[in-house]
């Protein structure tokens, strides 16, 4: 844990009187996308920290791996939706023609990479389209063929409905591994962490943050120094699946 200094930025709707509709769309839509994807990224790494913590039980680690996997799929879906909104708000409103020149060369290179993260063959695209919000009974049956006949199926049943069905997670991960052409399904989660939460989210959030901040600089908002007193590092995050309600 350590304190992180920052700034509180304050402005009013009246301060946006000089903004075009395109600028207003970016200021509000991009900010929401950044809030939501940042939340999902935090959950990915919180669950990943728990899943790789050898000091806790294997049951908790297995459930946390499920958490990593599902938050990654949600993040991929939101990044793909965010990319579609990005194109409408930034390119579709022609804002890019005036704002691009104000961005650093590094950010402009990041913008050029974005489209490749969301092409029809990209991991992000396939996770969103094939797995994000789908529960396909037919896909379950076809994916079962990937597993050996003696593959162990495990479920954990505890009080307070703290049940975790590990075999269902394993099958879902195997389906994604097959879709991505990854031979060993057990390595797919770490691969997705590196790709989706690392490369794609990194480029996407860097570009959107730079654009929003550049727009804010034209508002002349009020600045106030603030501090987050105790912020965990990525190695100190912790995500949980099991809990009980203290009555």
How does strand 164-165 pair with strand 155-156?
antiparallel
Kindly report, residue by residue over 13-41, the tens digit of the pLDDT. Answer: 999 999 999 999 999 999 999 999 999 99
- Give residue 134's pLDDT: 61
Per-residue pLDDT, averaged over 172-188, amounts to: 84
User: Which residues contact residue 164 at a Cβ distance below 8 angstroms, ignoring those fewer than 6 apart?
Assistant: 59, 62, 63, 66, 155, 156, 241, 242
The torsion angle over the Cα atoms of residues 41, 84, 171 and 166, rounded to 10 degrees, is: 30
Q: Is 53 helix (H, G, I), strand (E, B) or coil?
A: coil
- Give residue 133's pLDDT: 53
Find residue 225's DSSP bridge partners. Answer: 7
On the question of pLDDT at 55 being above 90, the answer is: yes
Helix axes 58-86, 31-51, angle to 10 degrees: 160
- Average pLDDT of the chain is 92
**Cβ atoms of residues 30 and 211 within 8 Å:** yes
245-to-67, 112, 160, 163, 164 alpha-carbon distances in Å: 20, 48, 8, 15, 17
- Give residue 130's pLDDT: 76
155 half-sphere exposure, CB direction, 13 A CA radius:
7
Structure tokens that stand for 212 in this block: 């929003």
- Give residue 145's pLDDT: 84
pTM for the model:
0.93
Kindly report, residue by residue over 85-120, the tens digit of the pLDDT. Answer: 999 999 999 999 999 999 999 999 999 999 999 998
- Give residue 214's pLDDT: 95
**Cβ atoms of residues 53 and 67 within 8 Å:** no
Per-residue pLDDT, averaged over 44-72, amounts to: 96
- Give residue 181's pLDDT: 85
Compute how many other C-beta atoms are within 10 angstroms of the C-beta atom of residue 98.
11
Q: Is 188 helix (H, G, I), strand (E, B) or coil?
A: helix
Kindly report, residue by residue over 186-233, the tens digit of the pLDDT. Answer: 789 999 999 999 999 999 999 999 999 999 999 988 899 999 999 999
């Amino acid at each position: 844990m350590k304190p992180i200094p920052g700034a509180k930025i304050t402005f009013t709707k009246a301060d946006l009187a000089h903004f075009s509709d395109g600028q207003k769309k970016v200021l509000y839509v991009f900010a929401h996308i950044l809030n939501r994807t940042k939340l999902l990224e935090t959950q990915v790494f919180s669950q990943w920290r728990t899943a790789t913590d050898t000091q806790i039980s294997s049951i908790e680690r297995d459930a946390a791996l499920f958490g990593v996997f599902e938050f990654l799929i949600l993040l991929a879906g939101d990044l793909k939706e965010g990319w579609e909104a990005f194109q409408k708000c930034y390119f579709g409103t022609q804002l890019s023609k005036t704002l691009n020149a104000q961005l650093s060369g590094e950010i402009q290179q990041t913008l050029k990479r974005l489209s490749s993260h969301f092409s029809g063959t990209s991991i992000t695209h396939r996770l969103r389209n094939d797995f994000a919000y789908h529960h396909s009974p037919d896909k379950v049956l076809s994916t079962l063929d990937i597993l050996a006949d003696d593959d162990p199926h495990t479920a954990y049943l505890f009080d307070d409905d703290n049940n975790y069905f590990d075999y269902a997670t394993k099958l879902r991960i195997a389906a994604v591994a097959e879709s991505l052409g990854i031979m060993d399904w057990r390595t797919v989660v770490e691969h997705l962490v590196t790709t989706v939460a690392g490369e794609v989210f990194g480029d996407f959030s860097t570009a959107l943050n730079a654009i929003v901040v550049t727009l804010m600089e034209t508002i002349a908002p009020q600045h106030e120094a603030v501090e987050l007193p105790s912020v965990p590092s990525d190695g100190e995050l912790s995500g949980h699946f099991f809990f009980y309600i203290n009555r």
